Amino acid sequence: MTHVGLTLRERKKAKTRAALIEASQRLFATRGYAGATLEDISAEVDITTQTLLRYFVSKTQLALAPLTAPLD
């Protein structure tokens, strides 16, 4: 994702979103989908589960995010 023209807040949100996707994929790969909880994923990124849910409304949406994310 290109960050040209984005505000600091937008860049931070994009960075957090990318970190959530990366952490979730890593945990899904090691623990399986059922074994990786939203609490585990949010802890990996050092945010609350409530904050995670502002980015993704469900674990399914988070799991599918790499397939629906725009390409750089």
**pTM tops 0.95:** no
pLDDT tens column, 6-30:
899 999 999 999 999 999 999 999 9
**Topology of domain 8-61, per CATH?**
Arc Repressor Mutant, subunit A (1.10.10)
- Of the pLDDT bands very low, low, confident and very high (cuts 50, 70, 90), residue 5 is confident
Residue 1 has pLDDT above 80, yes or no: no
Give Cα 12 to chain centroid, integer Å.
12
pLDDT of residue 31: 97
